[in-house]
Amino acid sequence: MQQATFRYDINGLRAYALLLVVFYHFNLPLFHAGFIGVDIFFVISGYFMTKIIFDNSRSNKFNSKDFFYARFIRIVPPLLFVTLIFYCVSFFILNPGDFQYYCKYIIKSLTFTSNISLLKEADDYFAANSARNLLLHTWSLSVEWQFYLLYPFLFILLNKAIKRPKGLIITLSLLLLSSLLFSVYQSTLNRAYDFYMLTTRAWEMLAGGLVYLFECSRTTQQNRPAILCKLVGIGLLVVSLIIINEKDPWPGYLASLTVIGSSLIIFSPNNRLRFFNNRLIYTLGLASYSIYLWHWPIHFFTNYYLPHPSTLTNILFVALSILIGYGSYRFIESKGIAWAKSKGQLFSFSFLLCIALIFIGLADQTRKHSGFPWRGGESYLSVVNKIKMPSPENGWCFYSIATDHQLSVGLPGVQCQIGDTTHPQVKALLFGDSYAGQYIPFWHKVGEKNAMQIQAVTTNWCNPSTGKDFLGPRTSPAYQQCLFNRHYVLDHISDYNVIILAGSWTKAFANPHAVEGLHKLISRIQQQNIPLIIMDEPYQFAENIGNRYKQQLWRHHYFDIRPYTSVKMDNKIKATSQQLDQLSANSVQTLYLRRSDLFSPTHYAVNDIPYSLDGGHISVLGSLAAERYFIAQGGNEKLRHFLKQ
C-alpha cells in the first residue's frame, strides 16, 4: 500500500530526534542519551530512500541521475553555506591550530568522508577531545551519503534478481542481521569503528527500508493497530533515553531498542496525533536538517568562550540554534531548492559543484599553510611551537607513524638515539607508546647530564608488552610498527644497561592481554638482571588543556588551569599509580619515577603555560620543564644512586 499523503507523524518523529540530539549536545538534564536521535534519523532515511527507489522502480521510472541530484540539492547547499559562514568567523576567532583543523574537516565534510577521517584519528565521539571538531556532527551526513551511493544499486539489483516481495524482504532482513551482528562484534573490538562506519550503521537504515516494504506487502483491507504501535514505539524510545548512556557500546545491541521503537512509530500511519502533528513540531521537523547543521558550531563556540556554561546558558543557546537553523531553512535550504529547480539540473548542479570545489581549494590552502599562523604574531608563535608532541617535524624522534605518513614500518622506527651520544657510560632503552615518546626531550637532557645514551623505541599505542595486544586501531601502520618494536626489543634486550618503560598505563591496565604482556616483559628484564625504570603517567584532564591554553593565549587572557582539574580523573590515575607501585615494590633493581618526581602539582610548566598537551600527553615544553623539575627535586642524585647499584 503506497502512502501518497504527507506523513506528519514521521515529520514529527524527525523533530523529536532533532531535539534529542540538540539537548544532548548542550548537556541539558535528562538527555544523557540524546545521541539516539541520530539513530532515529537513520531509520527515517532508510524508510524514505526505500520508498523513493521501490515506488519508482516498480513503475519503471527510477532514474539514478534524478535520485542523486535530489539528494545533492537537498544536502549540499545548506552544508556549503554553513561551512563557508564559519570559515569567515573562524578566520577572525580561531587560533591557527583550530583553524587548520576546521579546514581539514571542511574538505572531509563536503566530500562526505568525515566519518572515515574521525576513525583514522581513532577519536571517540563521546570523548572530550571530540568537542574540538567544529564539524564533528557531519559524520552522520557522510554515513548517509555513503548509503545513498550504494543502496539504490543494491536494492534494484536484488529487486530484479529476486522479484518476489517476500524474497526481497528476507534478503534485506539477512543483510540487516549481518550488519547488526557486525556492529555488536565491533562494539567489543573497536568502539570508534562501530560508531562511525556505514557497515555498522547500515542495519538502522535497512530497518527503515523494511518498514516500507512491510507496508507495501499489506492490503488496504488489513487494519493496523496504529495507536498501539505508536505507543509501544514511543515507550521504547523513552526506555532508550532512560537506560542508555555514553559508556554503552554504541550502536550495539542496545540500539535495537531505538531502532525498533522508531520503526513501530513509522509503520503505523496516523496523522491525527497532536503529539506528532502540531504547528511547532511540524515546523521543527521541516527545518530539522538546517537546525542540525547549525547547532553544533554554535555549541562549539559556546564552549570556546564559556568552557563551563550553566544549564540556563545552554538553554538559551539551544533556542538560538533553533532560531538560526530555522532562518537557514527558510532563506537558504528552501529557496536554494526552489532556485535549483528553476535553473534546471545541469546548470544548478554545475554551479554548486564549482562553488564547492573552489571552497575546498581555499580550505586546502588554509590547511597547508597551518591556519595562517601569521595572524597571531611572533609572541604567539614562539610559545605554541613548543606546545606540540615531540616528533621529527620539531626535531625529536618519537616515531609517530600513525600521523606522519612519510614514515615507514621497520628499522627506522627503532633508530632514535638521544642523550650523550658521543661518550656514553650507560646505554639505556626507552620503550613504549606515545606516553613514552613524550618523555624523549626529558631523557635527552637527563642523558646528557648523566653520560647516558638512550635509544627510544616508541610509537603510537604501542604499550610496553611482549604480546600482540595494541591500544589503537589495528588498521593503523602503528600496529605493524609496534610488533616490529617488540620483536626488536626482545632480540636486543641484553644490549642495554638499563631499561625505561613508560606508557598509557591506565588504558593498558584495563586490557588483560596488555597486563599479561607487561608482566612477561618485566620478567624477561629481571631474568637478564637489567635495572628497570618505570615512569608514571602525567596528570590527566578531561579537557584538551593545550588547546584551551592556546585559545586563551590567542585572546591575550591569563590561563587558569584549576577549573579543568577533576577529582574523578585524579582518583583514576592514583589507582593506576598504585598498580605501578606494586610492580616496582618487589625488586631493588626497579626505580619507580612517580608523578610527584616529575611534575609540579600546580600543573604549570612555565608561568601560566601548562605541562599538558591534550589532557593526557605532555608537550615538548612540558617534557623539558619536567626535566628541570626532576633535577630540582633531587632526581639526578636518585638516578645516579640507582645506576651505581
The domains of the chain are located at 8-368, 387-643
Tens-digit pLDDT profile for residues 49-85: 999 999 888 878 889 999 999 999 999 999 999 999 9
Tens-digit pLDDT profile for residues 431-481: 999 999 999 999 999 999 999 999 999 999 999 999 999 998 888 899 999
Query: Quick one: pLDDT at residue 4?
Result: 55
Instruction: Quickly count: other Cβ atoms within 10 Å of residue 588's Cβ.
Output: 9
pLDDT at 24 over 70: yes
Query: Quick one: pLDDT at residue 221?
Result: 43
pLDDT at 1 over 50: no
Sign of CA dihedral 201, 205, 208, 210: negative
Query: Quick one: pLDDT at residue 210?
Result: 96
- Which helix or strand (DSSP H or E) is residue 422 part of? none
Contact present, 228 and 173 (Cβ < 8 Å): no
Q: What is the mean pLDDT of residues 519-524?
A: 94
Which of 494, 410, 512, 509 has the alpha carbon at shortest distance from 459? 410
Q: What is the mean pLDDT of residues 277-283?
A: 93
Q: What is the mean pLDDT of residues 318-339?
A: 95
pLDDT at 3 over 70: no
* Pairwise CA distance, residues 211 & 10, whole Å: 12
* pLDDT band of 220, cuts 50, 70, 90: very low
| pLDDT, greater one: 560 or 268 | 560
Provide the CATH topology of domain 387-643.
Answer: Rossmann fold (3.40.50)
* pLDDT band of 123, cuts 50, 70, 90: very low
* Pairwise CA distance, residues 335 & 79, whole Å: 14
Quick one: 589 exposed, middle or buried, by C-beta within 10 A (0-12, 13-18, 19+)? middle
pLDDT at 347 over 60: yes
Q: Which residue pairs from 237-242 have beta carbons closer than 8 angstroms and sit at least 24 positions apart in sequence?
A: 237/36, 237/40, 237/261, 237/262, 237/265, 240/33, 240/36, 241/20, 241/30, 241/31, 241/33, 241/34, 241/36, 242/33
Backbone angles phi, psi at 502, to 5 degrees: -145, 150
Q: What is the mean pLDDT of residues 350-366?
A: 97
* Pairwise CA distance, residues 61 & 503, whole Å: 60
* Pairwise CA distance, residues 14 & 292, whole Å: 11
pLDDT at 224 over 60: no
| pLDDT, greater one: 225 or 533 | 533
Query: Quick one: pLDDT at residue 2?
Result: 44
Contact present, 190 and 473 (Cβ < 8 Å): yes
* Pairwise CA distance, residues 431 & 462, whole Å: 9
pLDDT, mean over the chain: 91
* pLDDT band of 227, cuts 50, 70, 90: confident
Query: Quick one: pLDDT at residue 297?
Result: 97
pLDDT at 325 over 50: yes
pLDDT at 375 over 60: yes
pLDDT at 108 over 90: yes
Query: Quick one: pLDDT at residue 219?
Result: 55
In sequence order, which residues have a C-beta less than 8 Å from that of residue 539 and are 6 or more positions away? 570, 573, 595, 599, 603, 611, 612
Query: Quick one: pLDDT at residue 128?
Result: 45
Q: What is the mean pLDDT of residues 518-544?
A: 93
The residues that bridge with 604 in the sheet, in sequence order, are 610
Contact present, 559 and 552 (Cβ < 8 Å): yes
pTM of the complete model: 0.80
pLDDT at 299 over 80: yes
Tell me the C-alpha to C-alpha distance, in Å, between residue 315 and each of 30, 241, 319, 327, 358. Answer: 13, 19, 6, 19, 37
Q: What is the mean pLDDT of residues 606-630?
A: 94
* pLDDT band of 129, cuts 50, 70, 90: low
Q: Which residue pairs from 400-404 have beta carbons closer than 8 angstroms and sit at least 24 positions apart in sequence?
A: 400/434, 400/437, 400/459, 400/460, 401/459, 401/460, 401/476, 401/477, 401/478, 401/481, 402/459, 402/460, 402/461, 402/472, 402/476, 402/477, 402/478, 403/460
pLDDT at 633 over 50: yes
Sheet holding 416-419, edge to edge: 416-419, 452-458, 426-432, 498-502, 532-535, 590-593
Query: Quick one: pLDDT at residue 640?
Result: 92
Tell me the C-alpha to C-alpha distance, in Å, between residue 614 and each of 142, 161, 538, 573. Answer: 27, 53, 11, 16
- Which of 32-41, 117-126, 401-410 is the most confident on average? 32-41
